[in-house]
């Protein structure tokens, strides 16, 4: 079903058809050159100005305005070049065919523009607007069929909303599934009581900043967490009921966002992975140490399971992950903590929250991480944690 955003796009397409018909293919060809030059200029301008604005809303608007300015400048220059070659155009013009092809090219350029801007527009902190963008049938169609947006746009999104979370989705995030019933507090407390001794805090110094998150004991002497929690950390520290323990990273997968740490002196027992795909409405708890605080359990209802096509934790390559979309108030520090059933079984690992929908979080499914966790059980040699994930 079309919405207001779709209506605006359709209007732009109609205008593009008229403009393309009048200009013809040759002039539109210069316009295409100007378009891509404008894209490059707009991204360059956006990277120069984005860090000058402290507020997310200002950063998002500044980036969009910079990209639009670059597009206007590039398209104008391309149009001027087209006008200057008007005599040549007249010599080789093919009448209605030239006009028809000009309209087709103009429509393609318009669709490319809205596709490039759609991901950035979804970060504008006006819930009604971002929801309209993500609900647009036209944008959803483009997002499903075009290749992922360029990595440089992912870098812009990271600068608009700085976060240590990986990019879960390329382009537009899917609209969350309808809400499920609240998870009873008693079930959350039950999960906390069963697993508290086996859920740990993970900290470390990375690029002159303290990185912190959560983790859990997956096998004797082995703690599992997210890769972005220990990214760039050379000496991670694990905290449990027995105090602080030095740890060694023995598995580091920035594509999935998984890490495993070898630790001595832990008091808790390993938790059990349940790799059965959980249905919508499953009542669970997200355990961990949000905001570097004390042990906490967050209610987490499973909304749906998704095959999320996003990027690795450095925004330098694509990643496809099996994830649970959760109705849960995930906070920084929950990363790496287990998503557990009331009986204590681990069904996932918390790794991200939505940047556009309040109260929506994401967990890697137990099935996604099982093989790597099994592999890590026999590892003892330290591996590199590469670089930090955010400044």
Chunked into runs of 10 residues, the chain (391 residues) has average pLDDT values of 84 86 74 78 79 69 81 82 65 65 83 74 64 79 71 54 71 85 96 97 88 96 97 95 95 97 96 97 97 95 95 88 97 96 98 87 98 96 88 42
Closest CA to 349 of 258, 240, 282, 280: 258
**What DSSP character marks residue 273?**
B
Predicted local distance difference test score (pLDDT) of residue 357: 80
User: CA 349, CA 257: separation in Å to the nearest integer?
Assistant: 10
Give the C-alpha separation, 352 to 374, whole Å.
23
Q: Please give the pLDDT value at position 391.
A: 42
Instruction: Identify the sign of the CA torsion 49, 55, 60, 64.
Output: negative
Per-residue model confidence (pLDDT) at position 36: 76
Cα–chain-centroid distance for residue 78?
34
Q: Residue 238: its pLDDT value, please? A: 97
Q: What are phi and psi of 365, to 5 degrees?
A: -70, 155
pLDDT at residue 47, as a whole number: 77
**What residues pair up with 353 in beta bridges, in sequence order?**
361
pTM of the model: 0.73
Task: Name the DSSP letter for residue 148.
Answer: P
């Amino acid at each position: 079903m079309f919405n207001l955003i779709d209506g605006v796009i359709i209007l732009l397409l109609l205008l593009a058809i008229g403009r393309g018909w009048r200009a013809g293919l040759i002039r539109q060809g210069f316009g295409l050159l100007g378009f891509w030059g404008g894209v490059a200029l707009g991204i360059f301008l956006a990277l120069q100005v984005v860090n000058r604005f402290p507020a997310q809303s200002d950063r998002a608007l500044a980036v969009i305005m910079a990209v639009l300015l670059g597009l206007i400048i590039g398209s104008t220059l391309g149009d001027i070049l087209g006008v200057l070659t008007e005599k040549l155009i007249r010599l080789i013009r093919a009448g209605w065919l030239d006009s028809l092809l000009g309209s087709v090219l103009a429509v393609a350029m318009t669709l490319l523009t809205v596709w490039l801007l759609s991901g950035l527009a979804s970060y504008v902190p006006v819930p009604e607007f971002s929801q309209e963008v993500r609900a647009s049938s036209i944008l959803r169609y483009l997002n499903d069929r075009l290749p992922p947006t360029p990595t440089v746009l992912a870098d812009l999104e990271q600068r608009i909303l700085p976060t240590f979370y990986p990019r879960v989705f390329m382009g537009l995030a899917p609209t969350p599934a309808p809400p499920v019933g609240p998870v009873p507090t008693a079930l959350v407390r039950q999960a906390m009581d069963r697993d508290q001794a086996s859920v740990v805090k993970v900290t470390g110094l990375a690029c002159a900043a303290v990185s912190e998150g959560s983790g859990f004991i997956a096998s004797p002497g082995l703690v599992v967490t997210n890769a972005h929690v220990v990214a760039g950390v050379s000496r991670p520290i694990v905290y449990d009921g027995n105090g602080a323990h030095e740890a060694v990273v023995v598995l580091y997968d920035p594509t999935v966002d998984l890490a495993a740490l070898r630790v001595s002196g832990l008091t808790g027992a390993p938790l059990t992975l349940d790799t059965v795909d959980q249905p919508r409405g499953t009542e669970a708890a997200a355990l961990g140490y949000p905001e570097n605080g004390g042990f906490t359990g967050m209610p987490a209802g499973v909304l749906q399971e998704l095959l999320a096509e996003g990027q690795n934790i450095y925004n330098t390559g694509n990643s496809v992950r099996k994830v649970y979309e959760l109705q849960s108030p995930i906070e920084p520090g929950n990363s790496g903590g287990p998503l557990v059933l009331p009986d204590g079984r681990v069904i996932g690992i918390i790794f991200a929250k939505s940047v556009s929908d309040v109260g929506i979080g994401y967990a890697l499914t137990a099935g996604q991480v099982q093989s790597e966790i099994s592999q890590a059980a026999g590892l003892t040699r330290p591996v590199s944690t590469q670089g930090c994930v955010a400044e």
